Structure 1
Amino acid sequence: MLTLTENASTIVKTLVDQTEVGDDAGLRFSQEDPAAGALTVTTSEQPVPGDAVVESDGAKVFLDETAAVALADQVLDANVDQSGAVQFSIIPSAAPTA
């Protein structure tokens, strides 16, 4: 399942708080056009039926079925660039050491 870094959790909470969509709100990752291969990120008042819900340090992320498969066992990181734009990045999670 997707995990969030501390930075990602903080930025997700900030983005959702700025939209004032409610206490159950989160960021929703979905794939609107399967041919494009890219995921769309939007704020959402609540998960859509069938979404996987990831919560981390008060941040909520909703993943549609395609996003949940694509982001399984990944780490979501985020930062804000010099122009104030949010940049998300996906990092493979570290494999457990034996």
Structure 2
Amino acid sequence: MLALTENVTEIVKKLEEEVPAISGLRIATEPDGQSLSVSPADQAAPGDQVVEQDGATIYVDEAAAVLLDDKILDGGVDAEGNIEFALGQQA
């Protein structure tokens, strides 16, 4: 199952606080089957895997869950305030 770093849990919790309509982030596969998108979400879509860690919620669609099963999601905020995500291999 996808794991989250402390950086990502803090980013997600802050988004949830700032935008009450958001209950988490959703990771979904793009139509090409290889690319992933991350977007705010108010709930899981049917078939989504729900990852809850340290108060943060990530919804992962079925195809993305297979790709991310052994990954860890990290993130940060750049100088302009843009959120950036990165994937790594779980230890």
**Is the shorter-chain TM-score for this pair beyond 0.5, marking a shared fold?**
yes
CA-CA distance at 1:37 after TM superposition: 2.2
**Count of aligned positions:** 91
Q: Which runs of 4+ in 1 moved over 3 A?
A: none
Give TM-score scaled by structure 2 length: 0.91
**Is it true that 1:67 corresponds to 2:64 in the alignment?**
yes
Aligned mates of 1:43, 1:19 — CA distance in 2:
10
**Is it true that 1:16 corresponds to 2:16 in the alignment?**
yes
State the identity as a percent. 44
The one-letter amino acid of 1:32's match is: E
Aligned mates of 1:38, 1:91 — CA distance in 2:
15
Aligned mates of 1:40, 1:70 — CA distance in 2:
13
The one-letter amino acid of 1:43's match is: P
Structure 2 alignment gaps of length 5 or more: none
Structure 1 alignment gaps of length 5 or more: none
1:42 equivalent in structure 2 = 39
1:26 equivalent in structure 2 = 24
Superposed CA RMSD in Å reads 1.3
Q: Based on CA coordinates, which of the two structures has the bigger radius of gyration?
A: 1
